[in-house]
Structure 1
């Protein structure tokens, strides 16, 4: 999922006339968090509509501080 997310963000930046290289690491991470804030819930909502039975209270995001620290 991270590669697909990166592609979406890079495409968005290109449409805005910039690139991830121009933004630098911190700028790109900021753009990634903004993208996640806007679109992050879509997959979960799709899974729920499909009837997935999961413990939704244990949802995690790999860039959350707790997960990121473990890596």
Structure 2
């Protein structure tokens, strides 16, 4: 029972981390877009958007690993 509870806590923590990555990714992308629209150098805006995409990609990998661990 204790092992199952620990496993559920680990899954919850991974899901929370994945959600945090998604939120950070969205915020980074919005900030990059806002910077580009406000006239700042394009490279700064692209960097923000790229960071957002990278964080969302990390969240997808975490979600995929959670699904694989559920199968076993």
TM-score (norm. length: structure 1): 0.37
TM-score (norm. length: structure 2): 0.37
Larger radius of gyration: 2
Give 1 or 2: higher helix fraction. 2
Q: Which has the higher contact order (CA 8 A, sep 6+)?
A: 2
